[in-house]
Structure 1
């Protein structure tokens, strides 16, 4: 048990039974929510990634809203999209509204059984990616083994790409530079 776990255990043991009940009630509700949402996924790797994306979602929405009060991030499991009368079901779709622009991300979780085992599967996946790109999606692909090994790392990578593509990182750097300049002026003054 590490220090953080030991401190958490110590704090938990010091809570009243009523407070513990309330925490457990919230966790049970969240468990039901995650179970319902992940039931839409077609594979365990999709479920693992979706759980971690949802875990980070609340924090990311808050971060984006610190620069744009109307910013929004929406996550969909197994979203149907259509291109020239051809329907696709995308494993996970993330829609980001930030600074008056809408960004679309198609997250594809490529399990070995259904992706690139045969020449036909590889061709189908590549055509699908081109068509999703034509619809305005930024396609982010993961091998199933990447997600299985570390769903947290995969979700972190998704949000890192989202932050870069939407200009969030640029806003963050600009704020940092303004703060640094402001602090320099105060020191000089």
Structure 2
């Protein structure tokens, strides 16, 4: 996943996932700058992450992968500056693609708790949140990644 205009946007199962992805790429470009002006947030695939320069904030992003026996919209990974790995799951819940019954909401919360117990940070955004301000949602996730990277600086 390299750029907001990436041809793979058509492979998203829902428009709100494409919207979140585009916003995350834009936020990474706007928010993450080294003091000398150099962008410090490359988005890499999982293989390239293993070889990444840890003096930079690096985020991997994969979509529609299975985590703990169910598919998630996005699996993100980042490293802190001393090679600790951190993972997050992002779920984009729109009414067009998620029936919002009490049972569905309970199932979502149960999955969130299982993911958190397994060490994942979970971000769940509604379609309304994403349509209203996709950049705020993406910025929340990006700030999580920055916080993980900075933890290594204080270790």
Query: How many Å apart are 1:68 and its aligned residue?
Result: 3.4
1:49-68 superposed matches below 5 A: 49-57=20-28, 60=32, 62-63=39-40, 68=54
**Unpaired runs of at least 5, structure 1:** 1-29, 175-189
**Cα distance, 1:155 vs structure 2:** 0.9
Normalising by structure 1, report the TM-score: 0.60
**Alignment partner of 1:80 is 2:66:** yes
Q: What is the CA-CA distance between 1:95 and the residue it aligns to?
A: 0.3
1:17-166 to 2 correspondence within 5 Å?
34-36=6-8, 38-57=9-28, 60=32, 62-63=39-40, 68-69=54-55, 71-81=57-67, 83=68, 87-98=69-80, 99-115=82-98, 117-164=100-147, 166=148
| Higher helix proportion | 1
CA displacement 1:51-104 (0-9 Å, x = unmatched) = 121233456494369x933753101111222x3xxx211111110012221000
Q: Aligned partners of 1:39 and 1:103: how far apart in 2?
A: 28
Question: Kindly tell me: are residues 41 and 135 of structure 1, through their superposed partners in 2, closer, same or farther at Cα, counting changes over 3 Å?
Answer: farther
2:57 touches 2:146 (CA, 8 Å); kept in 1? no
Choose 1 or 2 for highest CA Rg: 1
Runs of at least 5 residues in structure 2 that lack an aligned partner in the other structure? 34-38, 43-52
Aligned length: 135
TM-score after normalising by structure 2: 0.71
Moved over 6 A (4+): none
In 2, distance between residues paired with 1:34 and 1:54?
Answer: 10
RMSD over aligned CA atoms reads 2.9
CA separation of 1:64 and 1:113: change in aligned 2, threshold 3 A? closer
